[in-house]
Structure 1
Amino acid sequence: MNMNKSWQRNALASAIVAAAWGVAPTALAQDTEIKIAQPLEEVTVVARQKSSAEDVIAERLEYDVVTDIISNEQIVRVGDPNVASALRRVPGLTLVDDKFIYVRGLGERYSSAQLNSALVPSPDLQRNVIPLDIFPAEVIESLAVQKVYSADMPANFGGGNVDIRTRALPNDLLVNVTVGSGWSSASTGKDGLTYNGGGDDALGTDDGTRALPAEITQAIQTYRGDISVANIFQTLNKDGGFHTIPEAQAINRKIAASLNRDIDITTKSNGPDKKIKAGVGYNFDLSDDWNLGFIAMGSYDNKVRNKDRTNRSSNNPERIYSDTQRTVDEVSLNGFGSVGLAYGLDHQIDYTHLFIRDTDDEASITTGFNANNAEIDSGNQYVTYELRYEERELRTNQLRGEHKLVSTFNDVVYELPFRWADDLAFEWFYSDSKATTDKPNEVSVEGMNAIDMDTGAVLSTRIEDLSTAAVFRFTDLADNVESYGWDLVLPVEGDNYRLELSGGYDGSRKDRSYLGTTVNIDTSNADPDALAGTPGEALCCGRIEDRDNGFIASLGSAEAESYLAAQTLDAWYGKFDVTWNDTWRVSGGLRREDFKQAALPIDTLDFDNQLRVSDDELADIVVAEAKNYPSLSMTYMTQDFWAETFQFRLGYGGTTVRPDLREVAVVQYIDPVTDYRVVGNPYLQTSDLQNYDARGEWFFDNGNSFTVSLFHKNIDSPIETIRAAGSDDNVVLTFVNAEEAQLTGVEMEWLYDMQPIGAEGFFVSGNVTYSDSEITITDTDIGLTNNKRRMTGHSKEVANIQVGFDSPDGYHSATLAYNFFGERILFAARDGADDAYEQPFNSLDLNYAFYPMENLSVRLRLTNLLNQEREVKQDGVVILEEVADRTLSLGVKWDL
């Protein structure tokens, strides 16, 4: 749990609660004086963006380690639509796909996110971090971004952590409605791919059309996971019955025919985006002391995107390549509700419920040439038809409380037995979350086109004669996470010092079930005439049912399809924070974590022994460790050292980065960014980090600031992404532990008001990070080309620069945001091939807001103005290329 950072937080916490009641503090003394808040109309209109940027930087003065805070007031002032947009203003953070944070050029492995200090599973279970665009700005009390470790934080801390703190008590009546639309240069008004789905697709949920048929579920039980003709025949006759092979074949064909085979891919014009969001909240005065408040919000977002890509072989790109036409229909449906009960400024209990549904409905057709039966000059072209419907949901229930252990009831003060403990504060939380991913009827069909050698036109098409010509996958994944903890904070004040002592406990329990079922259509002995046509033609209309066509159904895959996993964590910490003469500040602590994790592959089709590991292997893949993680920081504070306020910080922390469950499970999944297949490594070990930071901060009275930071990390057993052995031109990635790695860098950030140079209302803010890393892999037997190189996922250069404008009359604000990350290794290659490098990416976005009335705002956003495509290169060849996509979105928001 992220508790108050300094002794002053006792008074500041009271001030924050007071602000939620519509009153404001005038001092942070021990006897905090409360006055009625003054109107903030001018503050909330003029210099919206610049004053918000100043607040982000000024807040860090209060914290013992480098922490950036974005409050609800700042978010409302600027008008950020979600958490991801708000985090763009935080120094050192890069957002990928407007969803995931990268810190100081490091990949997502070294970033983490919490919800109200609790561990919450990601609804995107191909990622180990929460997509931050799913949280609407209106539900946020504050965002805390910490880039230097302290003992009250989870030790699973690499580059930074974001704690999303939600609201429960609104200031007053809250009513707002936002409607909007959007357009994409590569998608809107253009033809996209589609197919016949279910009746509830617009709501992001399948109505059962794609579900695993009951006939197959029953057949798995009846024939004990084996629906081969031979086993069906044997099962039918095991009790002395007299059944024939043709009868067994007919049963097999009937099982295949139960599949949803309405899978032909067609085209239609893509429409514009649809967005709507609404919220309501109120604060009830139950008495002079008691307050009850609630907030309820919901949103709906639908957009269709063409995401075409080209893949090439690095060895022979002119002859071995493929082009994929791909369309994804994305639906997001979110709901948030919270209730808060407060007694004065001393006690508050909040309940929060969060519901998120995020669905991708994808249709794609890939055509290309290979070195086998579809050579470029053969007149044949292979074709793969794919449908993937992925419905992800997150449901979270949280209960949390904040208490001062000195309370007043009916003007009677009740103090603790020990006078020195009168300011003791207690915070606690409990969180219960469930994240599910349902991928029904994920279809892949292999075919072959006969093409005109001169024009490339398709003359005819057919389904391939393969044992897995058509593959129907059904995947059901569920994550259940309980997270809970408490903190005690005791501030003590002396004549020339201030001391805060704190300690607490965090615990979590996580279990996962990943259950997959694959049904294959074997056409290796089928009548060639029966294979003619598209998948919808070849697999329907009685062709499978016809015994003369020779179709056969089978179950299972060559790879593991299911696993069960569990993870437990128990953590205790103690911490001190002392300030001497308002000049020196030292804080430190120790955290002990007891961590256990196991991911066990199972075979749901093996009715005799479902566990797919031996006893010896089981001992190797179970992780159990108990370690201590120290932190220590020092701050020197002075005045008039090149600026009105100067701080110099030193920090050290011992942390860890643990492999995610998806990285230790041997089940394959599709990476959502590259579309490469990824398989886990059950023998991965945790990585231990030693983190060193030095930081100089200059704050000027006019709001300008400049900061320079140096950082260094030593990493033991870092986890690296590599290409799996024997994956040829179908790229499959996996993970290994290296021996060690080092990362060293410098980060500069600034905020500058341009009024002195004649540009009233303009300001520039940003940050630039330059770093380098080296990783050493001593296990040369795995066949990697480079055993000493830069870390995968690490960019040497990262830049985030914003030029903002706030009109003096308060009617307009605009931001031109430039984001850049340098070349980074996507995966380490094998057998003499060069590593694959994701190419540098430049992004330029424009945000404009118009405030014609106090309660009305209009927002326009243009993204990817540079229209840069995403590329991955290997051996000088662009092996992956994805089309660029400029977008325009327009929204209108009304607030009561």
Structure 2
Amino acid sequence: MKLNFLAAAFLFGVATYAQEHQTIKGYVYDSANNNEPLPYATVMLQNTDLGAEADENGYFEIECNQGSYLIEASYTGYQTFVMPYNTTNPQDISINLVSENANLDELIITVNNKKSTETALLNEQRKSLEIKQQIGAQELSRKGVSDVAAAVTKTTGVNKQESTGGIFVRGLGDRYNSTTMNGLPLVSNNPDKKNIDLDLFSTNIVEYISIDKTYLARNSGDFGGATVDIVSKKNTETGFFSVNLGANANTNALGQKDFYLQEGRNSLGFSKNNQPNTLNNHTSFTPFDTGKRNVPFGSSIGFNGGKSFFIGSEGKLDIFATANFGNEFKYKEGLNKTINAQGFASKNLTQKTYSYNTNTTGMLNANYEINANNTLAYNFLFVNGSSLNNDIYSGYMVDKAESAVGGIIQRNTYTQDQLMVHQLLGKHVLNDQTTFNWGASLNNIDSNMPDRTQNTMRWDSDANDYVIVRQARSDNHRYFHSLNEKEIAVNASVDHKFAKTEDGSYKGNLTIGYNGRFKKRDFNAVQFNYEISSSNLIAQPNQVDQIFNQENMDAGLFKLVTFRGDGANALEPQYYNGDAKTHAGFATAAYQLSPKLSAVVGIRYEKISQDVAWKTQLDNTENNNLFEKNAFLPNLNLKYEVNGVQNLRLAASKTYTLPQFKERARFLYENVDETVFGNQYLYASDNYNVDLKWEYFPQNDEVISATVFGKYIQNPINTTNIASSSNDITYLNTGDWGHVTGIEVELRKNLVYFNDDNDNKLSFGINAAYMKTNQELDAEKVARENPGLNVNFTHTEAKFTGASEFLGNADVTYFKAWNDKNIMATLTYNYNSDRIYALGNEQKGNLVDKGFGMLDFIFKTKFNENFGMGLSAKNLLNPSIDRVQQNLDQDHLVRSYKLGSVFSISLNYNF
């Protein structure tokens, strides 16, 4: 009887559910593109939380109760479509969205360039089984971002290291992050860094940037903070050509009556300065002296074009090309001190820095759709970045310049980085279930520092003038280095769908793949030191070439020597060479466990070999060190769809962090205020990562999310002062453990609609991250694992270097469009709190960079279909950038300066 009652109840429940629940089905089409399906459009039932995102074929389904509804379909750049629907008369729906007549210019919204829009990226984020964070061309333009380094700092939990293109993600710096382009790795332009400087990449080449802060088995296992993938722009129009012109000015630079830069450097950023092949010829060097430049206004020019060609009955070739050049002048002035544990300043200097930077970018993308099942793509990227700096340090220097006037150190540094990237990618649909994807890249970078000059002088009261300091040979020197790195990378994977359902879709997807990376680095350096015979060579600060010239060399006032002396092999460079090989196999399985719950499980195996050989001033006989590692790296992603607009996600993984070539080579690099050398005993860290995220999408261009994350790191690597008379810096596994915990929140919301359409509104965005980091500092572990090296940490535990406890970004945008015109105004603010620059040693406190915020204003307008203009004002608050040393007695200010505000104007014309 009970069984009959239960069966009846069950049948009644099923019948009731069938009567009360319906499925609304349909397609969304693009009326502006020959009624082709419109992927990723948003379809909602008004005044409910029910909705869906159209798939890549424009198809959607919405589960709902019986009743009458208003169906609303929307996509940015298209007019919103609304229609009544009653479930008592069920029918498949066809929706044709019509493009708006007034759109943002092509850098903000391009109707057919869907992946670059904020709406498309949010839709993809909502649909993905993985935790995603992306920023596209539309958002980059709205926020006035000009390079990729600045772009990623607009996302949650990311901040930039000031005056560099390096970033910190969740408190983890360069060594914990990876950079790719279109899924293929990029090489570094800097011997000190693992990653290429992201400010080399103009946002003109960017479709969107993906920041993966959770690990996925298809990516490199050398992961702790994030993988930053730059997806290059592709043509989506039948044909276009545009020209961009711009000008910029830094208020600090404009405030200088005279702007001093080293002579002999090309203003376009293409200077070649070969190393001399003799110690006796001084005429081949660049000048020590600097010259005055004209009013330091920066400028830019860019050309963008694309065209599509139809080949045969099925083929289509899309070509996109861009070429851009820009330059800028900067100036900063402030305090620079070196202080011991008792607060005594061994250096108490005023630093002035005159800077001139250039960036030249060229890119060509060719995407050939052979037919519906086969696509080939070729990407070529050329980047040339140059930096010319004149640093002048004046004041007290212990043992070198101790008078009331003090002394002067002048350093002129020119660097040129030239990157070439070739990528070939393919996608082949073998059948309804199986797709083969592959890619290969060849990267080459040349980074050169030709003829960096440094001279040191002190005020002599007896001579009533400056005299050249000769305390150490390196006080006056010239330095040349060259880095060449080549890398070949290969990706291949097969995707296979399985577990077909009654409606023709698949519940599961299996991916099996291979990644290979083969990298070679050659680094050479020679330093020419001035061995001075006279103790009272009088010199004027900006007329040092009157002393260091061929005539005085011939007269015996000085001679040139290297670390090898001045013998037959003096010009033999010190070097280190790196050879790294990584073979990796991976497998991931994605499966829909229930209508609401999906899982992705992955496993990756990597075989890593890193061989470094060197012959340097620290080790004058050739030596080498081989490091090998086998890594098994699992990852898990779970997604629970609370409803059509709300998700819960969980991600967990194990990864590792490798030491870099330079960190393991015994090469000595001398800065004005510090000396750094490599440590061959360094080894990899292991990382354990977990994320829990909630996300809610009220509308197609709105999101609210919160993420809790944690990381546990075994044997973390730090840059640390060792116990020595000169307090040299090296790289060490400083303890057994370290951990990072935090929470991230994001909100994007339309605040006010001033009409019934989407073309006159005020929107708002904010994201913030709060983090706690801690790590063990174990001097005994360092001494045990690194023969000959000792440290005396001031503390036994410390925060991670570079990690701010709080990071925040906020922006407000007003947009109005009418006919073929529009205006857009955005105010952005970002802030990062205090962060450790270097750990304390020998009872000295940690060096801490104090928190500061930056306020920017961006205005864009489109006068007509072809002509547009942009204005921007960056760093309007111009805060002081301060560094303190937190000694036991008090905090001592050791560095302080202001960057100045930057104003710019740009003009754009589309032909």
Structures share fold, TM-score greater than 0.5: yes
Q: For 1:67-82, what aligned pairs fall within 5 Å after superposition?
A: 67-71=132-136, 81-82=146-147
Shift in alpha-carbon separation, 1:47–1:436, aligned structure 2, 3 A = closer
The whole-number CA distance in structure 1 between the counterparts of 2:738 and 2:622 is 33
Q: Residue 743 of structure 1 is aligned with which of 736, 740, 743?
A: 740
**Residue 846 of structure 2: aligned partner:** 835
The equivalent position to 2:357 in structure 1, one of 307, 312, 330, is: 330
CA RMSD of aligned residues (A): 3.5
Which amino acid counterpart does residue 657 of structure 1 have in structure 2?
Answer: T
Q: Which amino acid aligns with 2:642?
A: T
Within 1, Cα distance between the matches of 2:515 and 2:30? 24
Partner residue in 2 for 1:222: none
Structure 1 range deviating more: 113-122 or 758-767: 758-767
Structure 2 equivalent of residue 769 of structure 1: 769
Name the CA shift for 1:702/1:76 in 2 (closer, same or farther; >3 Å): closer
Q: Does 1:130 align with 2:196?
A: yes
Helix, strand or coil for the counterpart of 1:543? helix
| 1:142 equivalenced with 2:208 (yes/no) | yes
The residue type paired with residue 429 of structure 1 is G
Q: Is the 8 A contact 2:208 2:230 kept in 1?
A: yes
1:155 paired with 2:221, answer: yes
- 1:465 counterpart residue number: 470
Distance 1:535 1:19, change over 3 A: farther
2:646 is the counterpart of 1:646: yes
Question: Is 1:118 matched with 2:184?
Answer: yes
Match of 2:628 in 1: 624
Check 1:192–1:346 CA distance in 2 against 1; reply closer, same or farther (3 A cut): farther
Q: How does 1:147-186 map to 2 (within 5 A)?
A: 147-186=213-252
Deviates more, 1:476-485 or 1:538-547: 538-547
Aligned twin of 2:484: 478
Change (3 A) 1:77 1:869: closer
Show the counterpart of 2:898.
883
1:205 alignment partner, SS class: coil
The answer to whether residue 665 in structure 2 is matched with residue 665 in structure 1 is yes
How far is the alpha carbon of 1:36 from its aligned partner? 9.7
Q: For 2:172, which of 97, 106, 110 is the aligned residue?
A: 106
Structure 2 CA distance, aligned partners of 1:265 and 1:756?
56
Which one of the candidate residues 104, 111, 122 is aligned to 1:57? Answer: 122
Matches within 5 A, 1:286-685: 286-315=311-340, 316=343, 320-375=347-402, 378-379=403-404, 381-406=406-431, 422-450=432-460, 459-466=464-471, 468=473, 469-495=475-501, 498-523=507-532, 525-526=533-534, 528=536, 534-540=543-549, 542-547=551-556, 549=557, 551-556=558-563, 561-603=574-616, 611-613=621-623, 618=624, 621-639=625-643, 645-669=645-669, 676-685=674-683
Contact 2:339 2:346 in 1 (8 A): no
Q: Does 1:280 align with 2:346?
A: no
The amino acid across from 1:366 in the alignment is Y
Mapped partners of 1:17, 1:444: distance in 2:
63
Aligned residues: 801
Shift of 1:689: 0.7
* Unpaired runs of at least 5, structure 1: 1-14, 217-254, 407-421, 453-457
Contact 1:150 1:589 in 2 (8 A): yes
Structure with greater strand share of residues: 2
Matched AA of 2:553: I
SS of structure 1 residue aligned to 2:254: coil
User: Quick one: distance in 2 between partners of 1:566 and 1:134?
Assistant: 25
Secondary structure of the corresponding residue to residue 723 of structure 2: coil
TM-score, normalised to structure 2, is 0.81
Larger RCO (CA within 8 A; separation ≥ 6): 1
Match of 1:850 in 2: 861
Shift, 1:383, TM fit: 1.6
* Percent identical residues: 20
- Please say if residues 191 and 267 of structure 1, whose CA atoms lie closer than 8 Å, have aligned partners that are also in contact: no
Q: Which amino acid aligns with 2:450?
A: P
1:202 aligned partner: 267
Residue 449 of structure 1 and its aligned partner are, at CA, apart by 2.0
| CA drift at 1:362 | 1.7
Q: C-alpha deviations, 1:367-397, integer Å up to 9, x for none?
A: 121332422xx35522212121111111111
Provide closer, same or farther for how the CA distance between residues 789 and 517 of structure 1 changes in structure 2, counting only shifts above 3 A: same
SS at match of 1:102: strand
Is the 2:180–2:230 Cα contact (8 Å) retained in structure 1? yes
Q: Is the 8 A contact 2:105 2:868 kept in 1?
A: no
Q: For the structure 1 residues 55 and 676, does the alpha-carbon distance in structure 2 shift closer, same or farther, using more than 3 Å as the test? A: farther
What do residues 133-164 of structure 1 show as CA deviations (whole Å, max 9, x unaligned)? 33334433433221211211211121221211
CA contact (8 A) 1:22 1:171 kept: no
SS of 2:551 mapped into structure 1: coil
AA matched with 2:174: E
Q: Could you report, residue by residue, the CA deviation over 1:603-624 in whole angstroms, capped at 9, with x for unpaired residues?
A: 4x99xx96443xxxx4xx4210
- Are residue 710 (structure 1) and residue 773 (structure 2) matched? no
The answer to whether the 8 A contact 2:104-2:822 is kept is no
Q: Distance in 2 between matches of 1:132 and 1:272?
A: 24
Pair 773,313 (structure 1): closer, same or farther in 2 beyond 3 Å: same
**308 and 124 in structure 1: CA distance in 2 versus 1, 3 angstrom threshold:** farther
Q: How far, CA to CA, are the matches of 1:827 and 1:670 in structure 2?
A: 17
C-alpha displacement of 1:178: 0.7
Matches of 2:530 and 2:199 in 1, distance apart?
40
Asked whether the 8 Å contact 1:681–1:736 carries over to 2, the reply is: no
2:828 matched to 1:823?
no
Amino acid at match of 1:56: L
Alignment map for 1:787-802 (pairs within 5 Å): 787-802=796-811
Question: SS state of the match for residue 397, structure 1?
Answer: strand
Distance in 1, matches of 2:360 and 2:701, equals 40
Is the CA contact (8 Å cut-off) linking 1:373 and 1:380 kept in structure 2? no
d(CA) in 1 for partners of 2:243, 2:645: 42
Task: Indicate the SS of the match to 1:501.
Answer: strand
**C-alpha distance in structure 2 between counterparts of 1:353 and 1:202, whole Å:** 25
| SS of aligned partner of 1:891 | strand
Conserved? CA contact 1:256–1:521, under 8 Å: no
What code does the residue aligned with 1:562 have? Answer: Y
- Following the alignment from structure 2 to structure 1, what is the Cα–Cα distance between the partners of residues 486 and 714? 30
Secondary structure in 2 aligned to 1:889? strand
Question: Conserved in 2, the CA contact under 8 Å of 1:532 and 1:538?
Answer: no
Kindly indicate whether the alpha-carbon contact (under 8 Å) linking 1:49 and 1:77 is maintained by their aligned counterparts in 2: no
